[in-house]
Structure 1
Amino acid sequence: MKIVSRMIFAQIMKNSLFVLLTLVALFAFFDLIGQSGNIGTSYSMGQAFLLTALILPTRCYEVLPIAVMLGSIFTLSRLASTSQFTVLRVSGIGPWRFCGMLLMPGIVLVICAYLLGNLVAPPAQRLAKEFKLDISGSAFTGKELDSGIWVRDVQRNEAGEPKKISFVNVQ
């Protein structure tokens, strides 16, 4: 049973990772295309790549559930198409035991999604916003959020360089 559990775990993880990388690459390409109007006027191509790279953890977090679902479906359909699923059922693995085997990669991927969504994506998203404000030279960013409007206040020295940057939340 341990061998079968490890095989299913490895196949689901491998296929989910492949789907995740494919979807993230597709969304990164779309993000880069979306910035094409600003390349050359507001910022360079290298800055556009850096901005897209800073958005990638958020994209991974958004796409991870879909990637896990598609990777799991692909894995289970391959087991069914090669009759391995039938052999497992005939060998004595019941539906509840098979659900237990599927639960392990699910728990690992939920923990990965939690860590990605709470530890990696928010700082990267904040850095992306700050970087975009720095390269655009804008001192104001207003988003209608539940928490109000966030305004960026830039105090400059005599040479025109930013001396102090602070963010103010206006309710």
Structure 2
Amino acid sequence: MKTVRRLIYGEVLTAITLVALGFLSLFFFFDLVDELQYLGKSSGLGSADNIYQIRHALLYVALLIPNHLYELLPISVLIGTIFVMARLAQSSEFTILRTSGLDPWRALRLLLALGAFFVVLSFVVGDYVAPASERAAQLLKARYQGQITIGQTGAWLKEKQAYNNYVVNVKTLTPDNEMKGVQIFEFNNKGLIVSTLQAPLAVFTPEAAWQLSQATRVEFEVPDTAAPAEKARQEAKVTRSTVESFRWPTGLNAEMVSVALLKPDRMGTVDLFNYVRHLEANSQTAQRYEIEFWRKVFYPLSCLVMVMLALPFAYLHFRSGGITGYVFAGVMIGISFFLLNNVFGYVGNLRNWQPWLAAATPGLLYMAVSLGAFGWLVLKR
């Protein structure tokens, strides 16, 4: 059995590696071509060191490779496994393995064990390597092309504290992890504005707080609404002050600000979970991020679905030259899986489906299809 395992695993791993390298090379070329339009641009500081050059473009494109690997790993597993299984069937090698004692369930266990390895690899790349490299790529590009921002007004966040509610606006995030154009609006429990705080620059501190520089604070003394109108006008007062440095305690950390400015699918599973909890605690809609969280949970498991889809190809009977059509059909099945996976994410967000259901349904459907094909081609024939 060790010889059979070594044969199948060696062939499949080699094929998957070649397919993944082919895809990554293609995406590397496309990304590099897309970056050529930005060559020669600078961040506006006027220094030659801040000009975006070809070496910066190559580094930026290289930092995108882990994220592409995470996205392409399941389809590479499918294509590589289908190719090996179909080739073994065409050359009758798999028939010899079957006569040597490789029954269908043992073959399925062999491939599922290999798929489990890619599940772990996908999880590690998607949760640790890809988010770190994506953030480094965005900060590199921001250093030479401008700051990280979204739209004209930047990112908006909300936080509930013990006595008051806060709405925060951050226009841009610099490569040095500094926030520019910060506005903080404070409301009491009745929904009335208490104060506003504006600062051109703010930084994160280790003590769960923001340190704002040259902050302008405007405080509104709200009168008692039960008081007469004349007295209320007399009690109303606005106080304006400017401080060199202002410390604002908050639970909004750098990761939360980053995700508001970047795509949620670039976050790790734990970070997404914490951000969803933050949104729910502040009575904000978290449907989009919940779907992304469950997609991050179920996405690595799609490698198991891919190897299950590939196994029936080992039990087909190929004529000369007929292997290409079957491999192409398998590739189209894999592509349709990813299209359906994305469609269910958008539809689930629009129709307000249960997040885990919207994320898990495509995998469950294709797992049912693969088990049906396995039962019909392997067990019934």
TM-score, normalised with respect to structure 2: 0.39
Name the counterpart of 1:90: 99
Does the Cα contact within 8 Å between 2:139 and 2:148 map onto a contact in 1?
no
Q: Is residue 124 of structure 1 aligned with residue 125 of structure 2?
A: no
**Aligned counterparts of 2:2 and 2:13: Cα–Cα separation in 1:** 16
Name the counterpart of 1:158: none
Q: Which amino acid aligns with 1:86?
A: T
Q: Identical aligned pairs, as a percentage?
A: 35
Structure that is richer in helix per residue: 1
Name the counterpart of 1:160: none
**Any idea what the Cα deviations from partners look like across 1:42-81, whole Å, max 9, x if unmatched?**
4111110010011111011111111111010111011111
- How many residue pairs are counted as aligned between the two chains? 163
Q: Is residue 106 of structure 1 aligned with residue 115 of structure 2?
A: yes
Q: Is residue 53 of structure 1 aligned with residue 62 of structure 2?
A: yes
Does the Cα contact within 8 Å between 2:138 and 2:148 map onto a contact in 1?
no
SS in 1 for 2:3: helix
Q: What RMSD, in angstroms, separates the aligned Cα atoms of the two structures? A: 2.8
Name the counterpart of 1:7: 7
Name the counterpart of 1:141: 149
**Aligned counterparts of 1:13 and 1:154: Cα–Cα separation in 2:** 48
Structure that is richer in strand per residue: 2
Of the two structures, which has the highest relative contact order with CA contacts closer than 8 Å and spacing of 6 or more?
Answer: 1
Does the Cα contact within 8 Å between 1:139 and 1:154 map onto a contact in 2?
no
**Aligned counterparts of 2:35 and 2:78: Cα–Cα separation in 1:** 30
**Any idea what the Cα deviations from partners look like across 1:110-156, whole Å, max 9, x if unmatched?**
111111111100010001111111111x23511699x798631359x
Does the Cα contact within 8 Å between 1:15 and 1:74 map onto a contact in 2?
yes
Name the counterpart of 1:28: 28
**Aligned counterparts of 1:165 and 1:38: Cα–Cα separation in 2:** 29
CA change 1:164–1:135 in 2 (3 A) is: farther
Consecutive unaligned residues of structure 2, counting only runs of 5 or more, are 43-51, 159-168, 174-178, 182-200, 205-253, 262-283, 285-381
Does the Cα contact within 8 Å between 2:23 and 2:72 map onto a contact in 1?
yes
Larger radius of gyration: 2
Consecutive unaligned residues of structure 1, counting only runs of 5 or more, are 156-162
Shift of 1:91: 2.0
**Any idea what the Cα deviations from partners look like across 1:31-50, whole Å, max 9, x if unmatched?**
00111111133411111001
